[in-house]
Structure 1
Amino acid sequence: MAQGQLRTLRGVEVQGKRVLLRVDCNVAVDEEGRPMPGGEQRLRAILPTIQHLQSQGARTILLSHLGRPGGKHVETLRLENVARQLRALAGFPIRYVPDIHGAQARAASEQLRDGEVILLENLRFDAGEEKADLLFAEALAALGELVVQDAFSVSHRKHASVAVLSRLRPSYAGLLLEKEVAMLERVLTTPERPAVAILGGAKLETKLGLMRHLLTRVDVILTGGGIANTLLRVGGASLRVGLVETQPPPEVTELLSEHRKNIQMPTDVRVVRGVGREVHPLMLPVSALTPADDVRDIGPETAAAYCAIIAQAKTCVWNGPVGKFEEPPFDEGTKHIARCVQSSPAFSVVGGGDTVRAISEMGLLQKFTHVSTGGGAMLTFLEGAPMPGLEPLYG
């Protein structure tokens, strides 16, 4: 974790200054490059900082990436359509400039007037962005006088506009990034007890460090998805090969033996039995599982037990669905947990693309204390691992 005080925009004089504002406009687009429904939440999240700079008379230059073009120009990943949607949400002009740091971008930045906003082209069209290339960062820095970082979702990446640019100009955290850090720091440093973490989704192997770190901060971790499957297998359950790492690393066994009372695993699950057959969900106790069973969700007994723990919590952090929520009826566990967290009086932080999508589809986004824009960034922060995009903003 970085040391010192996070430098924020509060009290910073920006009028008449060209401000490079790194935001995250990485929304899903269709085959013609048009933003798909559901992306508005990510764009709305960056508006407060843009509006603050605009109202203070800054000359704002928005920097963002979109997708994974791999350092090449990809027509469907241009930011023109995103600029159009962002402009509609903001309610004031935001001009798209189809250039990153060339003559057109330089001219557009120099011609900016107080309160005007432009959005430059997709940063990842240049390979220098993901390579953290100093020359690329210097070319961006030449366009402005101040840097504001507001893309928390990529703050764990060592990319040029994220980790290098902030070292080349006076730099500050935007309003969104400031809020993200404050909410997650509260979970790590001053959580009200009892504190609960809910972890689902991907492989446990990638979250071992996170779990170890969280276990020093929270009272219990409730598991689901692939994480729970691996733990269940280590605990002796019969699970089909392919659902879990074929040979879980020894660290998993150590983690479970050291913290068994603090790690909750499913006691019943929803499964599909057999391979290549018509889907017929079964509800089974974990003790009755066979290698033919494809575990896809937690069961009602587990959901009820988890909810009883959540109901007593004062702090709750959640990342990862507890089942294959995109395949009904295996969304029931995730929906049940979502309703329990939102109805709990706990300080609640939720993050991760799949988790946020699930609660968004349920219409519950506004029911949580904080919905993080970061998936990997949130997990990296909670693990206490280095955050290259945050480090230059402290001190």
Structure 2
Amino acid sequence: MRDAGAALVVCSHLGRPKGAPDPKYSLAPVAARLGELLEAPVAFATDTVGDSARSAVDGLTSGQVALLENLRFNPGETSKDSAEREAFAAQLAALAEAYVDDAFGAVHRKHASVYDVPARLPHFAGRLVLREVEVLARLRQEPDRPYVVVLGGSKVSDKLAVIEALLPTVDRLLIGGGMCFTFLRAQGHEVGKSLLEAEMVDTCRELLERGAGKILLPVDVVAATAFSADAEHDAVPVDQIPADRLGLDTGLARSRSSPTRSARPGRSSGTACVFELAPFAAGTRGVAEAITSVKGFTVVGGVDSAAAVRALGLDESSVHLHRRGACWSTWRARPP
């Protein structure tokens, strides 16, 4: 777009500020880094739709770029009051003539910059969004077999729709992360002080019945005395979790087993457990190593999962990491 003479107004969010400016979530460092990557100055607006934003945008000429401050500094961005959200969207839309969304990880949100602005401008999907849709379509429509999905995360309630959508399609669904303990309770096991959604136990029991032969759970876990890197911990079978301990990692018996290694294509979302604490990272590493060694089309999705692959120093060349994206841009056509 810059090469075609457009002036770009880049908008994004960072973190979860409470609808007010917060220095630790400022996009000022992003503007500096973007300028380095583009090898061109990037005008930075210190507000979202105020005097600084209007001045930065009005000062653009063909091929130049401006970055607005974190959109979540304005309460209208995430407001549940449609009038407040739409008012902010109208101010944003007034800064541009067309809209391109390339923030795949945010396209589902009913936020002003995602939902309301494109309703006011000619709008388009960016290349990142199109690529991610292409990948998901490949997994959903005619995946190669066997098709194995490793699903992590803390809560069953957050992943329920995903599980129900996947069950008819996958050959194996490996459940890890904190939500595995709700499934283990559904099987009648003691889970001690582990993360548990008691209200989801019956749902998990039904899923296990429907997914018999497809849903696989850990066979061992690392049970610790506390949520701490210094806590005493041991790997125990899932039917021997002490009542005074909590599971902070899945064991290696399942993570290194053939269901994961034989997947083609595969998909992973959510970490095995608390990989941020070194004593409890082995399960996540085991799963990640198995996934990155699979021959064929493999996808790793989710912020934590992608971060784990990188933090553990694993080879990314054999997998498609879901690129959540961090920005969406509006642009103005400018004559050369």
What is the aligned-residue RMSD (CA, Å)? 2.3
Which residue matches 2:317? 367
Q: Deviations over 1:325-382 (max 9, x none)?
A: 112221111111111111111311112222122111123363343211339xxxxxxx
- The match for 1:95 among 38, 43, 52 is 43
Gaps of 5+ in 1: 1-52, 376-388, 390-395
Q: Deviations over 1:291-332 (max 9, x none)?
A: 123222222222222xx1122221111111112111222111
Amino acid across the alignment from 1:264: L
Which residue matches 2:331? none
1:312 aligns with 2:265: no
- The match for 2:182 among 197, 205, 230 is 230
Which residue matches 1:170? 122
Which residue matches 1:158? 110
Pair 1:289–1:90, CA change in 2 (3 A): same
Amino acid across the alignment from 1:303: S
The CA deviation at 1:74 is 2.2
Pair 1:301–1:114, CA change in 2 (3 A): same
Pair 1:76–1:297, CA change in 2 (3 A): closer
The CA deviation at 1:73 is 2.2
Amino acid across the alignment from 2:153: G
The CA deviation at 1:136 is 1.2
Are the counterparts in 1 of residues 14 and 72 from structure 2 also a CA contact under 8 Å? Answer: yes
Which residue matches 1:179? 131
Which residue matches 1:67? 15
Are the counterparts in 1 of residues 193 and 246 from structure 2 also a CA contact under 8 Å? Answer: no
The CA deviation at 1:161 is 0.4
Which residue matches 2:333? none
SS of 1:333's partner is helix
Q: CA separation in 1, counterparts of 2:14 and 2:151?
A: 27
Pair 1:319–1:275, CA change in 2 (3 A): closer
The CA deviation at 1:149 is 0.4
Q: CA separation in 2, counterparts of 1:203 and 1:181?
A: 25
TM-score normalised by structure 1 residue count:
0.76
SS of 1:108's partner is helix
Q: CA separation in 2, counterparts of 1:245 and 1:157?
A: 25
SS of 1:296's partner is strand
Are the counterparts in 1 of residues 193 and 245 from structure 2 also a CA contact under 8 Å? Answer: no
Which residue matches 1:283? 235
The CA deviation at 1:109 is 2.0
The CA deviation at 1:275 is 9.3
Q: CA separation in 2, counterparts of 1:277 and 1:325?
A: 11
The CA deviation at 1:92 is 2.5
Matches of residues 1-395 of structure 1 in structure 2 within 5 Å? Answer: 53-131=1-79, 133-273=85-225, 279-305=231-257, 308-364=258-314, 366-374=316-324
In the alignment of these two chains, the number of paired residues is 322
Q: CA separation in 2, counterparts of 1:268 and 1:177?
A: 38
The CA deviation at 1:274 is 7.7
Q: Deviations over 1:239-286 (max 9, x none)?
A: 114521234342221111111211001112222258999623212222
Are the counterparts in 1 of residues 292 and 316 from structure 2 also a CA contact under 8 Å? Answer: no
Amino acid across the alignment from 1:299: G
Q: Deviations over 1:51-95 (max 9, x none)?
A: xx2233221000111222222122333221221122223332222
Amino acid across the alignment from 2:45: V
TM-score normalised by structure 2 residue count:
0.89
Q: CA separation in 2, counterparts of 1:56 and 1:136?
A: 29
Percent identity of equivalent pairs: 35
Q: CA separation in 1, counterparts of 2:272 and 2:188?
A: 20
Pair 1:353–1:113, CA change in 2 (3 A): same
Q: CA separation in 1, counterparts of 2:194 and 2:312?
A: 30
SS of 1:283's partner is strand
Q: CA separation in 2, counterparts of 1:319 and 1:282?
A: 26
Are the counterparts in 2 of residues 268 and 300 from structure 1 also a CA contact under 8 Å? Answer: yes
